Amino acid sequence: MAQQRRVQLSTQRPTSTVCVLGTELSLDVCGSAPKDAVTFHVQGTPGVKVYVVHDTQSIKMPSTVSRWPLAAGAEVLLSMDALSKDVGDEKVGFPISGRPVGCRTPLPAEVSLDADTTRSGTVSRTLLDKATWTWGPDGHGAILLVNCDRDDPTAKMLDNSDTAIRSYDDLKDMSQMVLRTRGPRTIFTGHRLILHIDYSDADKVGVFYGSNSAALEEYKHVLGGSKLAYTIKHSQHQEESIFYVEGLAFPDVDFSGLVAFHVTLLESSEKGLLEAPIFMDTVVFRMAPWIMTPNTAAPLEVFVCRWVLESQVPAHCVPDEVEFGYVQAPHKTFPVVFDSPRDRGLKDFPVKSILGPDFGYVARQAPEGSSSLDSFGNLEVSPPLTVQGKEYPLGRILIGSSFPRFGGRRMAKAVKDFLIAQKVQAPVELFSDWLAVGHVDEFLSFVPAPDRKGFRLLLASPSACYQLLKEKQEEGFGEAAMFHGRGRWKTGLSGLIFPFFLQNSCINWNRDILKRSLGLSEPDIIDIPQLFRGDTAHGAEAFFPDMVNMLVLGRHLGIPKPFGPQVGGQCCLEERVRALLEPLGLTCTFIDDYFSYHVLSGDVHCGTNVRRKPFAFKWWHMVP
Amino acid sequence: MAQQRRVQLSTQRPTSTVCVLGTELSLDVCGSAPKDAVTFHVQGTPGVKVYVVHDTQSIKMPSTVSRWPLAAGAEVLLSMDALSKDVGDEKVGFPISGRPVGCRTPLPAEVSLDADTTRSGTVSRTLLDKATWTWGPDGHGAILLVNCDRDDPTAKMLDNSDTAIRSYDDLKDMSQMVLRTRGPRTIFTGHRLILHIDYSDADKVGVFYGSNSAALEEYKHVLGGSKLAYTIKHSQHQEESIFYVEGLAFPDVDFSGLVAFHVTLLESSEKGLLEAPIFMDTVVFRMAPWIMTPNTAAPLEVFVCRWVLESQVPAHCVPDEVEFGYVQAPHKTFPVVFDSPRDRGLKDFPVKSILGPDFGYVARQAPEGSSSLDSFGNLEVSPPLTVQGKEYPLGRILIGSSFPRFGGRRMAKAVKDFLIAQKVQAPVELFSDWLAVGHVDEFLSFVPAPDRKGFRLLLASPSACYQLLKEKQEEGFGEAAMFHGRGRWKTGLSGLIFPFFLQNSCINWNRDILKRSLGLSEPDIIDIPQLFRGDTAHGAEAFFPDMVNMLVLGRHLGIPKPFGPQVGGQCCLEERVRALLEPLGLTCTFIDDYFSYHVLSGDVHCGTNVRRKPFAFKWWHMVP
């Protein structure tokens, strides 16, 4: 439905008004007619499209009817398709009851605010509805990136933390917004054009403007923060003005991610009267969400706690408190590290060593205090899935939580809200508080597979371990020793079997949630033998290095070395895990992390972090 | 998809486990089989439904196949439809490769958390998915009311401001939630049942429990605030326990309105091992939104500023700062007054004189400071509409805003966010900041009509007034005096015509927005002659009493008396308005509010407030 503007006619003098291309003027024929008038006639020059609305129908002029009754609701609609060469070229006349009571000369103007609504990577004019934003392969609507990297290595803060442009690379992270204005110069001198944003969006974006030939330092911050409106300069009329838009905030519990920009043409005040809007164009952007990558995505870079490699100093293990992801727009993609509320702060590891050109940073705070469940061993993402017909082409996030028992721990509300608000990887909440540390990566992992859904879910399984040990016991290896050279458990294999058996229940509960929320069936799951010990007071922890707490790099798995019972010169746990995983084309390397991680209640996965290749699938092609 | 629970089999001894009716047990056949086993067999007594999952198909037992291969992914699913009379009545046997390796005896139990998910007004058990909430005539899901009235007149605060039940009327505002538990007593002694809510919902609801025969003071606050979980007492098993749920908060920018309650059956800790969940039932409620009523709804009660009736003291006009609406659930409906951030506070008018039994109160604050646009003359609602196929059966809210010009006023973010979050009357933002006071009720109103959409939109129209005055001038009444006895304008009719003419533009702009967002066409709009005067610095105000600022009570209109030019002994403005409105069956009474309101920049509508009949249409039947 075209934007329409009501125009009163004057019986005194023909007044001129602006007709913005693509809009309609609705002429108030009845209100303008002399008291005794009963009919009207209308005619226009060829550049003006004229319709008479009569009896709720729109009839295109010229028609065979020459006189129209001045009935209630009679209207004349005007529109123009192209700019006429000279002011006053096109005319419309309105003899009412035979008398020439009004003669209007619409001044055609072109005012258009455009962005990359087709998601092609460049701004082009389209007929798409720019004021709406839709998901899916046939969706439309422009995309913004949170400009949370630091393109200038000498800068102390993120690019979007100030109102200056420091490098051309910085501009490249921003989305372009193009204002096109054309028309007779007389129009723009009699009017004012403003670019503006809603108050509630002002803390979400920054807009910069510099003329085509501007040097970096001439780029001016024109909208955002306390700047709600920017008056377009006369020098900017009759041209295309390119604005650069940066995002300041990720979607969150109180921010849908949508931001609207408007350009409004105001009729200038005249004779002390008020300035009034006569045309508005709106373009809507969506802030790109922060996206996690699953184990099945190709690794690009592995981060390992330095102390693991160089020394035995039990320093704080940083990688567990960040998670790598990325943001993507049609024009640009870059990785963004998400810093957990635990031990956060720009001064710490992530910013110092990771943040840089095209490598962004985002953090959330937990004013209520953070817990172990806020470490990002408690934040995983599944490979792409379909669950009962519903597609999750970027997988689903898995977070661990507690039962709301007294003193139960949970992930900080700010982190959970943030993850839900990204919309594209709908989080699933698991029960992890039964573990002393309380992370989902203590009982699950995903590995690539050539068949079925392209992956397997690995679940730590006390019962599979029990079954294996029982088998070995029956084969006569009941005295086989564990923890070779790492001993704290002095009895043989048989001593392990009973106390741990019932610890299955909590993992079984998660198994059910995972099957339902990820659409898995039993053949998609592999039970990895694992024992946990613990009690109600302290929670459970892996009794030997936790094999599902593995590092997955393509088809290569770095698995914590379990130091299980030696049977025939081989660790029977390693042997079983190989037997389970190697048929999928995976290579198992068992890594001794006993002293470096395991005794500190973590294993390989907790001490490493992987930056992976973004999905080939574009997030805007999904329907959340 | 039924809730499923993985159960490991023991080759040592037949263990018993609970099978909650409506759920499935997934038996881990492969993980339990001895190393050399290749097949298994399964049989159950008639009360147990048994399925074998083989090659991704579920085959119901008994079948013609007597031996199943122990292939990867082989599973046995069990479920039970009814409680068996005695513990151990029903059995399932599992000879694996001919050897009896396990024999399980499921203990059937019934655990169910129910609410009025069918929206019938009472709680009944249904097969509907209780964990989801859907809109529309075929939707399902229970409804909560914000218990914001004050059933005990001696209480100082709202009913939901404490954790006590003060009257049986208070209980009637709450929604019932019924927990049903049945099964062998042995089950419940070996387990723990907890009722719990998510941390993020804990400040949105309060839950009370008292046994069927409990006196009021025995009702206990069991969930909400810091109480996240409540352990069901053994005395509550084997019966229906009724919980009473009250809402504490309306939907808002950070609260979708949905609240989930869970009941979880935990396997009690045994041998120092962890308590593990084995069954969870969830029921979701939606908080009823605050709903406004349009002029076309039947009036129930009219509130007038006392000083209008009794004195000329220009006291603060309270009704303009509250708006009447209502909340509705299948079991209860009551009016709720919404208090604007202007001059708010429980100590003031709304609570003292309105709040009471079944009359609720809600307010929003504006930490950023409130403006004239926060008065509720700037908050209106349209009658029910359909806009391009989209239905708004409760109408759309209309609020006035500014252009984001420097110093522009806007409605407080908290109020706007609140109105949007109610979802059922999707707000439309108009441009009202051109007016000195800045309220939408200064230029629009709705009146009932027997035809078309059931109403007309009345718009203040300077051009219609110009046209009328011009006509009268041409008829020779150019010297007709205005403001008879109320004079501040000493010239005759002719003096009025020109200076005001162009003030049409701002109303025209709103006319376009209204036509598009309410789906109106010209014949749905009536132009009411009205002049505004003003300038860029101060904004516009009605030059004579603002006739659209009227009071609509059914077909009776109380219209500000305009004191227009006397033509033939009659006010030509009144005459014109009658001519426009009386054909719709409306009665026009012109009220002299010149000194009581008009000179204080308000008119009849600003000084009155009407509590109207709730919509017959139930809000949950719409699809926002």
* Phi, psi for residue B158 in degrees, rounded to 5: -65, 155
How distant is the Cα of A44 from the closest Cα of chain B, in angstroms?
22
Which helix (H) or strand (E) element contains residue A431?
A: strand A428-431
Give all strands (DSSP E) within B255-409, no chain letters: 258-267, 276-287, 291-292, 299-304, 322-329, 332-339, 360-363, 379-381, 385-387, 390-392, 397-401
Between chains, do A75 and B197 touch, taking CB under 8 Å as contact?
A: no
The percentage of residues in chain A with a pLDDT greater than 90, rounded to a whole number, is: 42
Q: Which of B36, B75, B199 to mutate to test the interface with A (most CBs of A within 10 A)?
A: B199
C-alpha A130: how far from chain center: 19
The percentage of residues in chain A with a pLDDT greater than 70, rounded to a whole number, is: 86
Asked if residue B347 has pLDDT above 60, the reply is: no
Beta strands A48-54 and A75-80 are antiparallel
Q: Which residues of B touch A197 (CB under 8 A)?
A: 404
pLDDT tens-place string over residues A481-510: 777 767 665 666 776 665 554 567 889 999
How distant is the Cα of A167 from the closest Cα of chain B, in angstroms?
30
- Tell me the C-alpha distance between A620 and A286, whole Å: 10
pLDDT tens-place string over residues B488-505: 656 667 766 655 545 678
| Residues with Cβ within 8 Å of residue B143, at least 6 apart in sequence | B116, B119, B175, B285, B286, B287, B288, B329, B330, B620
CATH of domain B115-287: 2.60.40.1700
DSSP-assigned states of every residue in B356-383: BTTBEEEE---TT---GGGSGGGEEEPP
Select B291-618's CATH number: 3.75.10.10, 3.90.45.10, 1.20.1560.10, 3.40.50.10470.
Answer: 3.75.10.10
Tell me what the pLDDT averaged over chain B comes to. Answer: 84
pLDDT tens-place string over residues A529-539: 999 887 777 78
Does residue B513 contact residue B428 with C-beta atoms inside 8 Å? yes
Cα angle vertex B190, ends B188, B192, to 5°? Answer: 65
Task: Quote the tokens at residue B82.
Answer: 């009814």
Does residue B285 contact residue B258 with C-beta atoms inside 8 Å? yes
Average pLDDT over residues A196-208: 94
Average pLDDT over residues A360-374: 83
Q: What is the CATH T-level fold of the domain A3-108, as seen in this structure?
A: Immunoglobulin-like (2.60.40)
Is A127 an interface residue toward B (CB < 8 Å)? no
Q: What is the pLDDT of residue B349?
A: 52
Q: What is the pLDDT of residue A76?
A: 87
Q: What is the pLDDT of residue B504?
A: 78
Strand, coil or helix: B322: strand
**Weakest mean pLDDT among A180-184, A245-249, B281-285, B393-397:** A180-184
The percentage of residues in chain B with a pLDDT greater than 90, rounded to a whole number, is: 42
- Tell me the C-alpha distance between A609 and A597, whole Å: 14
Q: What is the pLDDT of residue A380?
A: 96
Q: What is the pLDDT of residue A308?
A: 44
List A334's β-bridge partners, or say none.
Answer: A327
Q: Which residues of A touch B7 (CB under 8 A)?
A: 508
* Least CB–CB distance from B505: residue in A253, A276, A540: A276
Cα angle vertex B396, ends B390, B399, to 5°? Answer: 140
Asked if residue B436 has pLDDT above 80, the reply is: yes
Asked if residue B623 has pLDDT above 50, the reply is: yes
Q: What is the pLDDT of residue B1?
A: 64
* Closest residue in B to A532 (Cα–Cα): B273
Q: Which residues of B touch A403 (CB under 8 A)?
A: 194, 196, 229, 264, 266, 277
Q: Which residue has the higher pLDDT, A135 or B270?
A: A135
Does residue A436 contact residue A426 with C-beta atoms inside 8 Å? no
Task: Quote the tokens at residue B459.
Answer: 């718009």
Is B388 an interface residue toward A (CB < 8 Å)? yes
Q: What is the pLDDT of residue B97?
A: 67
* Phi, psi for residue A171 in degrees, rounded to 5: -60, -35
Asked if residue B129 has pLDDT above 70, the reply is: yes
Is B193 an interface residue toward A (CB < 8 Å)? no
Is A13 an interface residue toward B (CB < 8 Å)? no
The ipTM of this complex is 0.87
Given pLDDT bands bounded at 50, 70 and 90, which one contains residue B132? very high
Among B residues 30-49, those touching chain A with beta carbons less than 8 Å apart: 31-32, 34-35
Given pLDDT bands bounded at 50, 70 and 90, which one contains residue A259? very high
The per-type count for chain A, helices as H runs and strands as E runs, is 9, 41
Asked if residue A187 has pLDDT above 80, the reply is: no
Tell me what the pLDDT averaged over chain A comes to. Answer: 84
Q: Which residue has the higher pLDDT, A390 or A401?
A: A390
Q: What is the pLDDT of residue B311?
A: 37
Name the one residue in this structure whose structure tokens are 């593995």.
A550
pLDDT tens-place string over residues A392-417: 999 999 999 887 655 678 888 899 99
Q: Which residue has the higher pLDDT, A436 or B15?
A: A436
C-alpha B513: how far from chain center: 26
Between chains, do A276 and B72 touch, taking CB under 8 Å as contact?
A: no
Q: Which residues of B touch A4 (CB under 8 A)?
A: 512, 515-516
Does residue A430 contact residue A420 with C-beta atoms inside 8 Å? no
Average pLDDT over residues B291-297: 96
* Closest residue in A to B279 (Cα–Cα): A509
Q: What is the pLDDT of residue A119?
A: 96
Is B7 an interface residue toward A (CB < 8 Å)? yes
Beta strands A587-591 and B48-54 are unpaired
List A526's β-bridge partners, or say none.
Answer: A458
Domain spans, chain A:
3-108, 115-287, 291-618
Helix B572-581 vs helix B462-472: angle between axes, to the nearest 10 degrees?
120
Q: Which residues of A touch B1 (CB under 8 A)?
A: 388, 516
Peptide bond into A404 cis (omega under 30): no
Nearest to B458 by CA among B449, B450, B467: B449
Given pLDDT bands bounded at 50, 70 and 90, which one contains residue A307? very low
Task: Quote the tokens at residue B450.
Answer: 């027997």
Does residue B532 contact residue B462 with C-beta atoms inside 8 Å? yes
**Weakest mean pLDDT among A574-588, A606-620, B90-104:** B90-104
Beta strands B276-287 and B142-144 are parallel
Beta strands B99-115 and B16-20 are parallel
Residue ranges of the alpha helices (H) in B481-567? Answer: 504-518
Q: What is the pLDDT of residue B600?
A: 67
DSSP-assigned states of every residue in A26-74: EEEHHHHS-TT--EE--EE-TTEEEEEEETTEEEESS-S---EE--TT-
Q: What is the pLDDT of residue A575?
A: 96
Given pLDDT bands bounded at 50, 70 and 90, which one contains residue B344? very low
Radius of gyration of chain A (CA): 33
How distant is the Cα of B437 from the closest Cα of chain A, in angstroms?
14
Dmax (CA) for chain B in angstroms is: 115
Q: Which residue has the higher pLDDT, A173 or A65?
A: A173
Name the one residue in this structure whose structure tokens are 């198994």.
A511
Nearest to B95 by CA among B11, B181, B203: B11
Q: Which residue has the higher pLDDT, A92 or B440?
A: B440
Asked if residue A196 has pLDDT above 70, the reply is: yes
pLDDT tens-place string over residues B595-622: 776 776 777 787 788 899 999 999 999 9
Q: Which residue has the higher pLDDT, B214 or A361?
A: A361
pLDDT tens-place string over residues A530-563: 998 877 777 888 888 999 999 999 999 999 999 8
Average pLDDT over residues A144-155: 87
Q: Which residue has the higher pLDDT, B66 or A488?
A: B66
On the question of a common fold for B3-108 and B115-287, the answer reads: yes
Entry pTM: 0.90
- Tell me the C-alpha distance between B569 and B503, whole Å: 29
Catalytic positions of B, written as ranges: 606
Is B407 an interface residue toward A (CB < 8 Å)? no
Average pLDDT over residues A227-256: 89
Does residue B130 contact residue B124 with C-beta atoms inside 8 Å? no
Q: Which of A25, A195, A199 to mutate to test the interface with B (most CBs of B within 10 A)?
A: A199
* Least CB–CB distance from A404: residue in B31, B35, B229: B229
DSSP state of A252: B
* Least CB–CB distance from A229: residue in B404, B463, B467: B404
Average pLDDT over residues A428-448: 93
Given pLDDT bands bounded at 50, 70 and 90, which one contains residue A296? very high
pLDDT tens-place string over residues B525-541: 999 999 988 777 778 88
Does residue A364 contact residue A434 with C-beta atoms inside 8 Å? no
Between chains, do A276 and B434 touch, taking CB under 8 Å as contact?
A: yes
* Phi, psi for residue B386 in degrees, rounded to 5: -130, 125
